[in-house]
Structure formats: C-alpha cells, structure tokens
Chains A and B, each alone.
Chain A
C-alpha cells in the first residue's frame, strides 16, 4: 500500500500520525498518508523565503520549459509518488477509488491539469498582457516605452488549502512555479493524488524541490497555511468564501452558481441550445463550480426543463470503471442524505416542480457511499428559494423570469453564458458585476478558456504594480 508522507520544502518528513485513505465503495484502505500539525507548518513558513530563492536561481523561461516537461511527465510517466512508483493508470485508479469520481472523469481532469501546465507560457502571456516575465522576476524593467514598470512579489510562496473531491481545481495554483513563487499545499484527505503527482512531475522536470511543501493534516495544518502565508487560496463552501470576503491575502473559491441565460430574442429556439445546456449541467457529475445550476428564461421554461429532464433524468449509477459512468459517489454518505433533505425542502415550496420525478429514486444509498441521481427543477419565479441553489450533483433549476429583471436578480454567477443577439443586453451583462466569467453565445459553462483569468487574475494576487524610480548618485569627493 502506498504511503504519502509530508514534504517540508522538498524533504520528506516521516510523520508518526498515519491516516488511511479508503476506497469509497468498499471502505478498504488503499493508501496511507502521514499528517502534520499546525506547529510544523508554521515553523516551515518561516523559511518560505528559501523556496522563492531556489526558484529565482532559474529564469522564468527555464521554469516554463520545465513546466512543459512536467506536463508531459504528469500525463504519461511512471513517477515517484510517496514510497512507490506510480503509473498513470495507478493514479487514475487511486484517485477514482478515494474520490468516487468515475475513472474517465479522473482522466479528463488529469488532461485538463496537464493542458494548463503545458500551455503555461501562453497563459501567462495572456494573464500578464504580454509582460516580459523577467520584469516580474527582477521586480522592475522597461517594456520598451521608456517607462519603468515595477511589479513587486507580495509573497515568497502561495499557500493553498485544497479540496477533497475536485481534481480539476489544481490548475489554479500551477502558475505559481513559473512566476518563481513557491508552493505550500495542504492536499485534501481524499484527493492527495494530484498535488503529490504534480509536485513529483515538477521535481523530475528540474524544478528545485525546495520550492514545495506538502502538508497533509487537519484544520490545524490548513489554518497555519492560511495565517502564515501572505497569499493563499482556499476551496470550500459559501460560508468559507464569506469568511474570507474582503481579505486581500486570501483568494477563496466556493460554489459558482453558474448560469445560462436565454434572452427573449432566442428563447423560442431553445432546442438549438439543449446539448450545450445538458453538458453544462451534467459534465464532471455536476460537481464543479463551473457546472450550470440555473437556467433563466422568460418563457418556455417548462419545455426546457422537461427536455433536459428527458436527457439526464434516467442517468443511473454505474461502476467507476465504466466509460459511460456519469455520476460520482458521495464518499461521505451523510453528505448525500443531507443534500437530499435540503432538496426536498426546496421542492416543498409552492411554484417549484420536480421535472425528474418520473425517473425513479434520487438518493441511492450504499454501505460506504451514496449517490444522488440528476434532478431538474422548474421554478415559476426567481422568488423561489431553489433559484439560488447549487448542489454537488447534476442539479439545475430552470427559472422563469422576465428578461428585464434577470441581471438584477441572478445573484453571484461564476460563469454566465448569455444567449442573445441583443446588443443592449450583452452590454448590460458585461457591466453586471455579479457575473465573473461572461460567455456571450452558446459556450457551455464548463468549458473554460485558460488564457483568461479565473476568479481574479493570479498575477494581481501575487504581484503588486508599483512605482520604481532610479537616479544616478552624484559622485562624492571621496570617490
């Protein structure tokens, strides 16, 4: 059985506190990981400067080449992970076994992470608006306009408290390395796989191992990362996001409440967009913040919800190895029962209709895990509570709302796909601060263009643009 031990700035630490990672369906241990407490993390954070120093030994161009190489290794090589050598297939089996994600989804998340890493040069070029990365490295420089520009790194490392069950989010911390910022990561207890394999790939590709800290542990370890690093990201619930709102040191990622909006000029042709809507709801088992949880239109909402229900209502539980598996398990069964109880509460409200009611039981309870089968709900008004809900399974509410009220009522929307030719609405959507990523046209909410920033630009998060003036010193008499 593979054992993953903490990594303290590149050095493995033999933890005495080993915890099991168990198979979601059988409950059998499949791996062990050693954990650390907040004291060890806090201590290491004092030496965070060394991580950046090690990275500064390599130019951004060299690090970008290493990223390319790391991407290749991550996606294809046998890599040292913990006390074992891990093949791609083993990685996929292990990740699926602990997270409950079907294997083909693990592979597609792996591909997504690999893609971002392989294309880091283009991504950074876009995120920096073409800035020469040596300016970030040196702290200042001239872009050729005769004006000094300066970007000061706000932290030697990026801390991250990573989620348990969403292997796709790891794309967000990958840019730190070519930006010469070290990483202190607390892997999720059920998904240590991506961070460990990614760090191994980076090291094998030549990135200095001193740049990496991996700190599996409890809340204590996560808390220490958050409080001791000048810049960190955390993934959690709406409550977690609210807790860190307005804190410039923390980038908090939570529910997305992503939506598709059909405007009056195109809604009569809603069938043209059915595939796009189904993909937005169902992909990755509806687990991501970029999955669509709300479809808003002023009419045809019953037909739209009925049609989506016909497409996804019958999706059933399949073994994780089945290439057709569309549903991920809830590895903590109580989360599924709790979620379902909330859904039942939503359905009790007048004006809310379960359009998937005819497709059988939704809550499937097994001995060690549970599943929730897809649900499509119709809401006759944005007043209904369900209009603002997002759950960790394929769940969408189709909301009837006059177009004139939509942007005022949609609430926070990580990805907003707007379907219209109405220029004034497009302009208004562009100005609507509730929408983070705006898609104009039939782009599924789950398809992200990585050349654009996601929930804030990581460059702005890690660096601060500031003034840097230089003048020659006068020559003194003693010179």
Chain B
C-alpha cells in the first residue's frame, strides 16, 4: 500500500487551496444553518446546549469542526426521526432511509433531496460513451428502505432512462449467514440473480447497471451458464462499490468477467465508496498500468473524507500513510461533523480533477474486520 500519490504540482496546490477556501466557506454556512434557531434541526439545537463552545461564533473554518465530539451513528437509532429535520425545511416531503436492522432497531436517516443531488453530481463523472443517456438501468442491489435503491433510480431518470430493480432483503441475507444456512443463502442468491437475468433478457434496452461485487460475479456466472455474457446482453457500463471492490477483484472482473479492458471493447466499470450518511465518493480512473489502484474522492464540499491516525482521530496522516477513514457530511439537510467509518486506507494527494484529499486501498478497519459480515450483496 505504498503506491499512494504523494506529490502535488504547483497548479494542483493552487486548486487545492481554492477548494479549501470553498470548503471553509461552505462549512461556516452549513454550521449556521444547523445551529440557528430558525433553521436548525431539533437534534442539533438540543445538542448545542451540551457543547462547551458556541458553533455559531466558534466555528470559523472546516478545521474547527474538530471541536465537535465525534458523530455517533447510534444517535440515529429510534425515533422520533423528525428531530433530524431542519426547521428550515419544514413542510417538505421527507424520505427515511435505514441501515442495519437485522436485529433490533435500525439506524434511520432522513433525506429530502440529498440523494438526488449526490447522484446528479455523480452523474457528471460518468462517461456518456459507457453510460449512454436514454438507456435503461438495472439496480442489482438491496431493496427496501435503502437510500441506494432510490438514488440509483433517480440517477437513471436524471440520465433520461428508467431503472429496473430486484427484490433483495439484505437483513434476511445476514440472518442466513448468522444461522449458517448456506444452502438457503445460495438459493436466495440464485433467486436474486434469476430476477436480474429475467429483466436483462426481456428486451428492455438495459445498458447500465449498479451491482454489488458479489452479485456482479454471480450475474456474470449465471449469464455464462446460459451461454451469454454481460456484454452480449447489452451492458456497457457498471458502477459498483464496497470494500470488496479491491484492485485484485477489479483485475479479475476486467480479465475474466467483463470481456477485457474497456479500450479493447470490454464493459466499463467504476467503483464508488459511500454510505447512507455521506452519499458517495467517486474514483480516479482505474487502469491496469496503475495496477488497478482505486482512489476515492468525496464530493467536496458536500462531503469530506479524511484519513486519520488510529490513535488520534483529529490528526490527519501524511500522504501515503495508513489511517482510519473519517467522514463529514455538510449539507443543508444533514450535518455530520466527523464520523469514524468502519474502514481504513491510505491518504491520497489532491489531483487536477479532485483538488482535495482522497483515500485509497479502502478495506475493513483492522480492529473490527473480523466481526464484519459480508453476505450476498
């Protein structure tokens, strides 16, 4: 993991400095929105009373967010969920998205339009050549109260297409794994893939898709068993995500699943990184020459990722150094002043497309990796 980008040209340094200025300005605006009595949410206005500083006067830059205690996702468990809705958005239709919930109360996040905005920004990074406008999409991932499912549908619509979905209950998948019912797990996976194959081979002009790594593998296998392939059924572009999206997995897909490198006619695939709290970060283009290295950049200033020291979560590591991933969400709908993600990776330097820090080699945080359950999806 020592191949991180560590050097910055003068031009990139200038762009990074300008981006930092915009981030500081955006931070100030966001903090004022969430902590003003007229616009803030009941949750943050209540929280403000517990703080030993005044966010309205003491936060003057992005770095000042470190004055806040770390965001605890446990706060998202249970109701009333309305306490998260900023008063400034009162009366607007609100979505509730959930994470977890296999047992116990799931964590809920309210969203108004953030998922649309995040995916519209993401859309700008997708090459039309591989994600043709007007083409239809397949969402091969979890259904139910998930942000991802509606976000991908919006992405398809934003690009003038429609989105086909499958039924996939991730909570049942986790239960199957915990019970050790591996045969049931396989059958459930087949059930999901059958739905996808049916849709893909029904003449719907589906050319783009989201798929989780495991489901993409299974779909590729299932199509091959039927004597066809992702290419042959018309798929041109795929985006995927998660810590399983490693350089080796990418190479495997390119070499054995997607019909070769995209320059030689293979299906285009791009990784993303994110969660219900943050939205999604995009990747620098991946190439065989760069050993399929994956570096993610958050959609600053709406969200920020940092790579911080394992011992001090307020201290960013040096470029190329390893640390834990810390997320910030700074939208007018949701405020996360530093959340410790369950992942680690290496800090990447800014570059011309994204003149701010990135993170590469993302993998489960070593201290909790053994407890992570990765299932069908």
Contact = CB atoms under 8 A, between A and B. Distances in A.
Are A and B physically bound partners?
yes
Interface of A: 15-17, 36-40, 42-43, 46, 220, 223, 226-227, 239, 243, 247
Interface residues of B, number: 22
Contacts of B248: 15-17, 36-37
B180 interface: yes
Nearest to A42: B221
A243 B180 contact: yes
Contacts of A46: 221, 224
A43 B216 CA distance: 13
A42 B247 contact: no
A356 B217 CA distance: 54
Contacts of A37: 244, 246, 248-249, 252
Interface string B162-198: 0000000000000000001011001000000000000
Contacts, number: 43
Interface of B: 180, 182-183, 186, 213-214, 217, 221, 224, 244, 246-249, 251-253, 256-257, 291-292, 374
B247 A16 contact: yes
B225 to A, nearest CB: 8
Given A16-B247, A37-B244, A243-B180, A227 B252 contact: no
Contact of A17 (B246, B253, B257): B246
A39 B182 contact: no
A226 B185 CA distance: 13
A113 to B, nearest CB: 29
Nearest to A218: B374
A43 B182 contact: no
A39 B249 contact: yes
B256 to A, nearest CB: 6
Contact of B252 (A39, A220, A223, A239): A39
B291 A38 contact: no
B374 A220 contact: yes
Given A16-B247, A46-B224, A40 B252 contact: yes
B186 A227 contact: yes
Given A16-B248, A243-B180, 13 more contacts: A16-B246, A17-B246, A37-B246, A37-B249, A39-B213, A39-B257, A40-B252, A43-B252, A46-B224, A223-B182, A227-B186, A239-B180, A243-B182
Nearest to B248: A16
Consensus secondary structure, chain A interface: helix
19 contacts: A16-B247, A16-B248, A16-B291, A16-B292, A36-B248, A37-B246, A38-B214, A38-B217, A39-B217, A39-B249, A39-B257, A42-B217, A43-B252, A43-B256, A46-B221, A46-B224, A226-B182, A227-B182, A247-B183
A227 B217 CA distance: 14
Contacts of A15: 248
Contacts of B244: 37
A189 B308 CA distance: 30
Which of A16, A17, A247 lies at the interface centre, i.e. has the most chain B CB atoms within 10 A of its CB?
Answer: A16
A223 B244 CA distance: 15
B374 to A, nearest CB: 7
Nearest to A43: B256
A94 B173 CA distance: 40
Query: 10 nearest interchain CB pairs?
Result: A39-B217, A16-B248, A243-B180, A17-B248, A16-B247, A227-B186, A40-B252, A39-B252, A43-B256, A37-B249
Nearest to A35: B248
Given A16-B291, A17-B246, A37-B252, A43 B221 contact: yes
A43 B180 CA distance: 23
Contacts of A40: 252, 256
Nearest to B253: A39
Nearest to B244: A37
A42 to B, nearest CB: 6
B217 to A, nearest CB: 4
Contacts of B291: 16
A424 B57 CA distance: 91
Contacts of B180: 239, 243
A38 B376 CA distance: 12
A227 to B, nearest CB: 5
Which of B224, B252, B374 lies at the interface centre, i.e. has the most chain A CB atoms within 10 A of its CB?
Answer: B252
A224 to B, nearest CB: 9
A220 B374 CA distance: 9
Contacts of B213: 39
Contacts of A227: 182, 186
A76 B213 CA distance: 44
A386 B283 CA distance: 55
A9 to B, nearest CB: 13
